[in-house]
Amino acid sequence: MNWVSHYLKSFKIISNNYRWFTASFIAVSTLFILCSALNSLLPVLLRNAANTFDGAPNASTQFLLFAGCYALLWTVSQVLSSVRGVFSAWILAKCDATLYETILTRIFQYAHSKQRTLDPGYVAADINRSASSFSLVTVGVFWTIVPIAVEIIVAISVLYAIMGAAYAMLFLVACVALTSLAIYVAKSSSSIHRALFEADNNLSSYTVERLGRVYDIKINNSLPKELALGRTFFDNYVKTIRDANLRMGIRIACQGLAIGVVLTFFILLSGLYYRTNFTAGDFIMIVGYITLFTLQLHLLAGTLFNLQAHLISLNDGIKYIEEDIKEQYHPKHHADVEGFTLTGVTLAKDNRTILNNINGQLMSGVNIISGKSGAGKTTLINILLGLEESHTGTALYRGHRISEALTEHILSEVSVAPQKPVLVSGTLEDNLLYGAGDVCQNRLKEIVELLGFTRQGTDADALLATVIDVAGSGLSGGEKQRIAIGRAILRDKPTLILDEPTAALDERTAHKIVEWLALHTRNLIIVTHDEKLKKKYGIKIELNETTADSIQV
């Protein structure tokens, strides 16, 4: 059974990350079972209390005894229920967080080519559902179904003693039949749950996509068009939800009808055929049991129905964890070669040649990769970092063939300043140190000054404490690019790659930074179309839109 293996895998993941999980799980499960056993004894005490009204000499004493035991047992059950609720919520919150973190971490470890195929909206929706699915399966199976089974077993045992084997067996058969019906309905509901999840994923994807293009919607004055498209999308979304809930409601109503028929049958059977042998207390107890466990069977039917949804969600999360990841290769020794070597590197996608027969070496010193927009400069950077494997030819880093398995090793020795960095919510200091190790304050302030972040009348400490939101509101494109360059410098790696460092910076600042880096970086690779930089440092690789040829310098 696939869901069992997925549940056990999740259980193992949580156990490995949560030291006391197994012991806590057993303790809380025991509390649930104990509460169920206590609740199932309440009708017996109620029966005995009612039977004291038969006029016996010590009836008052017996009534007080049984009524007191009933009240005490009910109180203990409620207190234990509150205790188990507190501890179960504590445990399940840790379970949810552990699974969420595990899935997210796994996705971070995917090859870049795989990450690019993921829809952020779908992934977010899948993770949100699946992170809590283990907890909900645990609640459904161990903290709902198992306790209900305990209550039914106790009830059947009491009914056997009071009503006889035939009545108890008939009650057992009814319970089994209703449970089988609930299991059948739950399994047949898979398509309903899948339709609801697909609608949820589409909604999440739609939201993420639109939030990512708010600026374009604004400047293109395309809000009316977006609203019209959105109206169609939401109409389809509502229709899907309505249809799924209608199908779900019909199934649940049929189950409720079946349970109601069973309830009516056993109450009538008890009153009509056993009235001559019953005391009032017996009838109260039997009707109490029938009513209590009919409600429990209704709860069981709902739990099984929801359990099917949670199992689907759990599977959706486990698929991210089970995704194959190439083992990273960290060479202990390098050939007597520095930097990158490219031989006949060619890359074509969708019947379009992006890079054509690239040859060259990017060694110590300043290395310029030049080309117009769309000529494949960023693609070439991805090849150097092992993030793009769909090329032919040979690309080597310090003598080792570049692949996705070598990416971690390359990035442990190479810093990259992309054109469009992603900012983190925090201060300027947090953003500059993102990805860096231990950096002393003097070094940090030196880089802040180099990047031109200093402001008249503001000291460096206050500047570093400037709060930046994740969207970088209030920052210019040049400031964002300087943050990217600062990150790359502060990572303190022997090789540094700058992707169009002069694109968003004024010429004076850009050339000042490049000159400083040329003096302080062993291997500086600059992707640019800046004519002054090309003239000053020469060109190692020249790219254009149709061909890409290397220039040996």
Q: Please tell me the distance from the alpha carbon of residue 539 to that of residue 549, in angstroms, as a whole number.
A: 11
On whether the pTM is more than 0.85, the answer is: no
Rounded mean pLDDT of 483-491?
93
Closest CA to 170 of 159, 161, 182, 162: 159
- The residue count for the chain: 553
Give pLDDT, residue 489: 94
Residue 303 has pLDDT above 70, yes or no: yes
504 Rama class: left (phi>0) / alpha (psi -120 to 50) / beta: alpha
pLDDT at 457: 54
Round to whole Å and give the CA distance between 432 and 450.
13
What's the token pair of residue 406?
């070598």
Residue 547 has pLDDT above 70, yes or no: no
Element counts in the chain: helices (H) and strands (E) = 19, 12
Beta bridge partners of 106: none
Query: Which ranges in 109-164 belong to alpha helices (H)?
Result: 112-115, 120-140, 146-163
Q: Residue 135 pLDDT more than 80?
A: yes
SS3 of residue 421 by DSSP = coil
List, for residues 381-414, the tens digit of each pLDDT value.
Answer: 999 999 988 889 999 999 999 998 999 999 999 9
**pLDDT for res 53:** 67
CB distance 534 to 368 below 8 Å = yes
- Per-position DSSP letters for 248-270, written without gaps between them: HHHHHHHHHHHHHHHHHHHHHHH
pLDDT confidence of residue 438: 87
Structure tokens at 206: 């739609």
C-beta of residue 317 within 8 angstroms of C-beta of residue 123: no
Q: Centre a 10 Å sphere on the Cβ of residue 403 and count the other Cβ atoms it contains.
A: 15
pLDDT, mean of residues 266-274: 72
The pLDDT assigned to 553 comes to 39
Token readout for 274 is: 């056993």
Measure the CA–CA gap between 279 and 44, rounded to whole angstroms: 13
Q: What is the pLDDT of residue 157?
A: 84
DSSP class per residue in 397-415: ETTEE--GGGHHHHHTTEE
Q: How confident is the model at residue 198 (pLDDT cuts 50, 70, 90)?
A: very high
- What is the tens place of the pLDDT at every residue in 329-373? 888 877 777 899 999 999 988 788 888 889 989 999 999 998 777
Q: Across residues 506-518, what is the average pLDDT? A: 89
User: What integer is the mean pLDDT of 141-148?
Assistant: 87
Whether residue 161 is predicted with pLDDT greater than 50 in this model: the reply is: yes
Query: What mean pLDDT is predicted for residues 28-35?
Result: 87
The residues, ordered by sequence, that sit 6+ positions from 112 with a Cβ below 8 Å of its Cβ are 382, 387, 388, 404, 407
Kindly list the structural domains of the chain, giving each domain's residue range(s) and its CATH number in brackets, ordered by start.
Answer: 2-321 (1.20.1560.10), 340-550 (3.40.50.300)
The predicted model gives 17-27 an average pLDDT of: 87
